[in-house]
Amino acid sequence: MAPSSDSPEFRIRQATVSDCSTILHFIRLLAEYEKLSHEVVADEVKLAATLFGDEPGAEVIIAEYQGKPVGLALFFTSYSTFLAQPGIYLEDLFVETSMRGKGFGKALLAHLAKIAVSRHCGRLEWSVLDWNQPAIDFYHSLGAVPMEGWTVNRLTGGALHTVAEQAN
């Protein structure tokens, strides 16, 4: 069963605030898969405020099959100074385990690429855990290439606050 955009059983739609429990469910499943469940502090209230409040920090699209959510893509706008164009950063792509290999992930990425093109973005990018070979193979099959020579850096918690305190 490959999803088709003209199938009445399959659709991709923009998430709404009423989807917060579904979004949180998928976040928890993704964290479990990535062996990072201990890092999830998100809850429905925080998701509602940060995704659907006055200043949304990201957007979510949801894939549905036969009226049931089967996956999501959570993304936000980035910017490339080299291109002088906005981009889209895909933070999370998740498809229910039982629905993998059926085209839902590809459909979500294709939909996201269409959004990027319609918004005149110069790129669509994301990170993948280096041990997640199924995801790496999937992304390569779409033509995605790893960014060799780049290392992701992050400030969180106490380190973030320590650096912030150094600002005037």
* Known catalytic membership, residue 139: yes
Looking at residue 112, what DSSP letter applies? Answer: H
Q: What is the pLDDT of residue 5?
A: 54
pLDDT level of residue 12 (50, 70, 90 thresholds): very high
**Residue pair 122/88 in contact by the 8 Å Cβ criterion:** no
Q: What is the pLDDT of residue 7?
A: 72
How many Å apart are CA 23 and CA 38, to the nearest integer? 17
* Cα–Cα nearest to 106, from 115, 93, 118: 93
Q: What is the pTM of this model?
A: 0.91
By CB atoms closer than 10 A (0-12, 13-18, 19+), residue 64 is: middle
For the stretch 81-136, pLDDT in tens is 999 999 999 999 999 999 999 999 999 999 999 999 999 999 999 999 999 999 99
Among the listed residues 33, 65, 79, 139, the single catalytic one is 139
Q: Please name each of the domains of the chain with its CATH number.
A: 10-164 (3.40.630.30)
Q: What is the pLDDT of residue 100?
A: 93
For the stretch 59-88, pLDDT in tens is 999 999 999 999 999 999 999 999 999 999
Angle at CA of residue 73, ends 69 and 78, nearest 5°: 160
pLDDT of residue 160 exceeding 80, the answer is: yes
